[in-house]
C-alpha cells in the first residue's frame, strides 16, 4: 500500500510532466508562424508615381510568396516625411512595412530643419529593391552631344546652358557636377517633370536632369538627347549613354533607390523571412523585366548591405547639401 508521501510524489511528478508537455503547445499557440494576416506597405508618395508602381509590383509578388494579401497604402506629403513617419510609429510586428527611398531614408534629414523620425534608429532595413540613375539630357535643337560640350559652353559663356531641376535629386546632381567641374552651371527649380519638360521641349531651357522613365518617351521620339547617366557604369535603362564618370569626371556617381524597411523592433526572424522573400521575387526573370520597364534596375541583397549602403550615402551627401545650402523649402 502506497504511503501518503509516495502518492503525493507521484501526483507531483505527473503534474510536472503535464506542464512540460503543455508549455510548448501553449507557446506555439501564442506565436503562430509569420505571416498569418495581411501585410501593409506604406508608400510615402502619391499613387501612380514610380515608387508606388514598383511597390505594387513587389507587393503582388510577395503576396504569392508569403501566402498573405499585401495592401499598399499611399500617404503622400512633405517630400515623403508624412508616410514614413506613419510607418515609424507602427508596431514592429512585421505587418507594417514601408518602401523607403534615398529621399526618405537619407536626404530629407539634411534638407528639412526638423524630422519627426530618425531614419536609422526608427527602422530595420530589409532589402534594396531597385535603383536608377539620373540622366542629363539636352533639347534636340541644342548643339550639345556630351557632358563636356555643356561644361565648356557655360565656362565660355555663363548662363548659356541653364538646367531644369524637377526634383531634389536633380538639384543634387547639378550641385555635385558644379563641385566636380567648377563650371558655373545654373539650375531652375520646378515642382515636377511635367512643367520642366514643357520648357525644355519648348526651347526655354537647354537641359534637364530627370529619371530614365520620365525621359524615355522624349528620347525615343528624338525630342531630347541623353548626354550622360549618373551611375558609375552604363545603365541598361538608358542604353548606349556613357556615364558622366567616363566623360572626364572619375568617381562621379548619383543613384536613386527604393528599399523595403520595417519599424524598429521588428524581430530578426521576421526581417530575415522578408529579406529572403524579396530576394526570391527579384530573382525571377519576369519580375526583373517588369522592373526594368518601370525604370528600375532590380537590386536585392542582404539587410546588412542596405544598412551600410544608406550609411555611406548619408556620409557622402550631407557635406554636399550643407555646402550648397540646399533646403527643401527653396
pLDDT, tens digit, 9 for 90 and up, residues 1-38: 444 444 444 445 444 444 444 544 444 445 579 999 99
Mean pLDDT score across all residues of the chain:
91
Can you tell me the mean pLDDT for 162-187? Answer: 93
DSSP code at position 194: H
- What H or E segment, with its residue span, contains residue 197? helix 193-201
Can you give the pTM of this predicted structure?
0.85
5 versus 305: the higher-pLDDT residue is: 305
Span 245-260, pLDDT tens digits: 999 999 999 999 999 9
Which residue carries 552651371 as its cell?
A: 185
Inform me whether the pLDDT recorded for 146 exceeds 90: yes
At residue 133, the pLDDT reads 97
At residue 329, the pLDDT reads 66
At residue 164, the pLDDT reads 97
CATH, range 39-132+256-324: 3.40.190.150
CATH, range 135-246: 3.40.190.10
Instruction: Please tell me the distance from the alpha carbon of residue 188 to that of residue 194, in angstroms, as a whole number.
Output: 14
Q: Pick from 254, 260, 255: which is nearest to 300 by CA? A: 260
Contact 309, 128 (CB under 8 A): yes
* DSSP class per residue in 182-225: -----EEE-SSHHHHHHHHHTTS-SEEEE-HHHHHHHHHTTSEE
Q: Pick from 50, 59, 117, 48: which is nearest to 89 by CA? A: 117
At residue 327, the pLDDT reads 87
For residue 171 the three cell numbers come to 538639384
For residue 78 the three cell numbers come to 512633405
At residue 31, the pLDDT reads 58
CA 198, 204, 207, 210: dihedral to nearest 10 degrees?
-20
Which residue carries 506613419 as its cell?
A: 86
Could you state, in order of their start, the residue ranges of all structural domains in the chain?
A: 39-132+256-324, 135-246
Whether 135-246 and 39-132+256-324 are alike in CATH topology: the answer is: yes
Could you tell me whether strands 123-133 and 255-263 are parallel, antiparallel, or unpaired per DSSP bridges?
Answer: antiparallel
Amino acid at each position: 500500500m502506497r504511503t501518503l508521501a509516495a502518492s503525493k510524489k507521484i501526483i507531483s511528478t505527473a503534474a510536472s510532466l503535464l506542464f512540460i508537455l503543455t508549455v510548448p503547445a501553449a507557446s506555439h499557440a501564442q506565436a503562430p508562424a509569420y505571416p498569418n494576416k495581411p501585410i501593409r506597405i506604406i508608400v510615402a508618395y502619391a499613387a501612380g508615381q514610380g515608387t508606388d508602381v514598383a511597390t505594387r509590383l513587389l507587393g503582388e509578388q510577395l503576396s504569392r510568396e508569403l501566402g498573405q494579401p499585401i495592401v499598399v497604402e499611399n500617404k503622400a506629403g512633405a517630400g515623403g516625411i508624412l508616410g514614413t513617419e506613419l510607418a515609424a510609429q507602427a508596431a514592429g510586428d512585421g505587418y507594417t512595412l514601408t518602401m523607403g527611398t534615398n529621399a526618405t531614408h537619407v536626404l530629407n534629414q539634411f534638407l528639412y530643419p526638423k524630422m519627426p523620425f530618425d531614419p536609422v534608429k526608427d527602422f530595420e532595413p530589409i532589402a534594396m529593391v531597385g535603383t536608377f540613375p539620373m540622366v542629363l539630357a539636352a533639347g534636340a535643337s541644342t548643339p550639345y552631344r556630351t557632358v563636356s560640350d555643356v561644361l565648356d559652353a557655360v565656362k565660355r559663356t555663363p548662363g548659356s546652358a541653364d538646367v531644369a531641376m524637377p526634383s531634389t535629386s536633380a538639384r543634387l546632381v547639378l550641385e555635385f557636377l558644379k563641385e566636380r567641374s567648377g563650371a558655373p552651371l545654373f539650375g531652375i527649380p520646378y515642382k515636377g517633370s511635367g512643367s520642366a519638360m514643357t520648357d525644355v521641349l519648348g526651347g526655354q531651357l537647354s537641359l534637364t536632369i530627370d529619371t530614365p522613365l520620365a525621359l524615355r518617351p522624349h528620347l525615343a521620339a528624338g525630342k531630347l538627347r541623353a548626354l550622360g547617366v549618373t551611375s558609375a557604369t552604363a545603365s541598361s535603362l538608358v542604353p548606349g549613354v556613357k556615364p558622366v564618370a567616363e566623360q572626364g569626371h572619375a568617381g562621379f556617381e548619383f543613384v536613386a533607390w527604393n528599399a523595403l524597411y520595417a519599424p524598429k523592433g521588428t524581430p530578426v526572424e521576421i526581417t530575415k523571412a522578408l529579406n529572403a522573400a524579396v530576394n526570391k521575387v527579384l530573382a525571377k526573370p519576369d519580375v526583373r523585366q517588369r522592373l526594368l520597364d518601370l525604370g528600375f534596375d532590380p537590386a536585392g541583397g542582404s539587410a546588412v548591405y542596405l544598412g551600410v549602403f544608406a550609411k555611406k550615402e548619408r556620409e557622402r551627401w550631407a557635406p554636399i547639401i550643407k555646402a550648397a545650402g540646399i533646403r527643401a523649402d527653396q
